[in-house]
Structure 1
């Protein structure tokens, strides 16, 4: 695999569709508008914004998004049914994802049909969508468990009928990045005229890795959600995919990452799914340093222990003082509190700092440190 991408990558964020399908999550219309505006303003080029066939409330929300006149293309999710597609058209939508189950497991045990029926359903729904002049992504639900030769057949039908891309879905999140790369590469080679989009889930904790693998294999579009929201264990996180593209792949998708922290917190509140402090890229404490070796290294030069500047994603660095701290970290923490602590003083305080942290089972707060410093100063004066 090459380390630097040679092709353009377009983010299709599905926070407003698959993100809202997280069990128990509901966004109000006002929240959807705010999220859409935020994502549009940072440069996300496509937003999967809902499922119009769900009912009038959903259609009203989609129409409200259409009325915003965003730069991002709005695309809706639809079953491969004319009625679903018409519901999207009625909302003013000009781009649709039409989804079909493509694995033998789902064809037989969910649809209770056969492969021939799936191909005919694709022809019928895609034909209608293209007659209406729509941009069409053909979504292959459960592509990761489907027969590759059958996927090639479907992609050839889609290509010949004017579809714009094919969505390869790891619906159950069961792939590893190596298998994802091989499958997407095979499809890209077999039907090079049709763009591929990858949609990954995090059931095995590999959604972001699989998304990047699919992109490296030739996929031009990738689905993401803010904070990795989504069915079950969630989808590939927008913030993780974008930073991985920039740092690991040498590809800048044109996203203003400095607002990631702001957007992450907003979606966390709206979804009632608070962002864990250790969440990759956007967690409040992912730029925290405690151990003596790491704190000393990052104080000397942040690049020693940080792959990128926390300000790049709207965060800041924290020097934590606790059981594993060293004198450099202690001196720096006191400096941030406005106290110039000599290294000799820091060395004298270290045993007490570690003992208190051990007893409290947590790092020390500014108040804890001020009290220790005051007590030590008193002892030094008394001596």
Structure 2
């Protein structure tokens, strides 16, 4: 590309959009110390539904009668999204799922040697038998069944593929590969999913954890490898370091030209709702939904944005797409263009000479306060430098 050619984004479309399956109400609520009451669960499910999320995992029916009743109530409130219930590889879990009235159950089957031998004290033949029997049991109850490879990323890929084949033969509709401990990197995730997609008749869903900070990257790699369904949570909430974040996955896929049907302008209020219910405020720098992610202070960046937004704005990350806007703030790293802009916005004198004289004061005040300056701070500094600055706007 010629140095003076228009800037190009690196996003590139690759195949149809995957379907997002949100598990905020199941895996998200498994976050240590997080509890959603029934009203919050209903509100979150309705917000996910209204945002265009295709599938919502509502909970674990095996927790008892109260949970079964709660799942029933949440499911009744859904308009477009398909609900499902999570179950362990136990017949009683499937029976409990059936009592909810939800017509889809996901059965998670431990597959890694440490899970089979260490946790359950069983062998590989147990997993083979359970998948055959439980899928048949569930389909006999009229349930659609997906099967999940718990800790599949630490399991012999040949055994994972074998279990997927057994699940398909027994009547399952989908196979979920879980990176339960978040040990994969994007290259390994891509290779593992590509192998499954190439050899299995079932659609492949990918469920990532964020222990190494790679859940979103691994999920997108899985999508590039052919995973048709992606498991996510709002804000990346979930066990330990969390899961792949709904807002990040949806935003990237949309930027690639593979929109998932999720309304990007719904993501910020959705994240804020879940954060309030979880008692975990959205971090300022959280991609897409963080309150500070479209804020700019650095003189170089602010100068570029004011001249041409594309200098520091990707086509796939325009803030308006998410119902947001750029926010230019004054601080230690501000430059002349930022001070001129702030003075103009405040209705103050804003010629270059005045702004240049004010700039060191702005930086010093930001250092003293250890924060960005508010409009009142700027007005105070401007009046201190020139008592008549207010209302003496100049071009």
Q: CA deviation at 1:380?
A: 8.4
Is 1:74–2:83 an aligned residue pair? yes
- What residue number does 1:206 align with? 214
Distance 2:55 2:172 in 1: 17
Question: Is the CA contact 1:177–1:213 (under 8 Å) kept in the aligned structure 2?
Answer: yes
Q: TM-score, normalised by structure 2?
A: 0.93
Q: CA deviation at 1:301?
A: 2.4
Q: CA deviation at 1:364?
A: 1.3
Q: Which is further off, 260-269 or 343-352?
A: 343-352
Q: CA deviation at 1:340?
A: 5.2
Is 1:282–2:276 an aligned residue pair? no
- What residue number does 2:252 align with? 244
**Equivalent position to 1:374, from 363, 380, 383:** 383
**Equivalent position to 1:228, from 236, 241, 256:** 236
Is 1:58–2:57 an aligned residue pair? no
Is 1:299–2:306 an aligned residue pair? yes
Is 1:271–2:258 an aligned residue pair? no
Question: Is the CA contact 1:284–1:315 (under 8 Å) kept in the aligned structure 2?
Answer: no
Q: Which is further off, 369-378 or 45-54?
A: 369-378
- Displaced runs of 4 or more, over 3 A: none
**Equivalent position to 2:182, from 158, 173, 178:** 173
Distance 2:385 2:288 in 1: 38
**Equivalent position to 2:364, from 346, 350, 355:** 355
Aligned-partner SS, 2:56: strand
- Relative distance call for 1:45 and 1:376 in structure 2 (3 A) is same
Is 1:261–2:268 an aligned residue pair? yes
Q: CA deviation at 1:337?
A: 2.6
Question: Is the CA contact 1:287–1:306 (under 8 Å) kept in the aligned structure 2?
Answer: no
Q: TM-score, normalised by structure 1?
A: 0.96
Question: Is the CA contact 1:42–1:255 (under 8 Å) kept in the aligned structure 2?
Answer: yes
Distance 2:101 2:22 in 1: 19
Q: Which is further off, 204-213 or 353-362?
A: 353-362
Aligned-partner SS, 2:17: coil
Q: Which is further off, 299-308 or 346-355?
A: 299-308
Q: Which runs of 5+ in 2 are unaligned?
A: 1-10, 391-395
Aligned-partner SS, 2:115: helix
Q: Which runs of 5+ in 1 are unaligned?
A: none
For 1:1-383, list aligned pairs within 5 A.
Answer: 3-191=12-200, 193-247=201-255, 249-307=256-314, 308-339=317-348, 341-378=350-387
Aligned-partner SS, 1:50: strand
Question: Is the CA contact 1:262–1:314 (under 8 Å) kept in the aligned structure 2?
Answer: no
Q: CA deviation at 1:316?
A: 2.4
Q: CA deviation at 1:379?
A: 8.5
Question: Is the CA contact 1:185–1:218 (under 8 Å) kept in the aligned structure 2?
Answer: yes
**Deviation digits for residues 165-198 of structure 1, max 9, x if unmatched?**
110000000110000000110111111x210000
Question: Is the CA contact 2:30–2:238 (under 8 Å) kept in the aligned structure 1?
Answer: yes
Q: CA deviation at 1:343?
A: 2.1
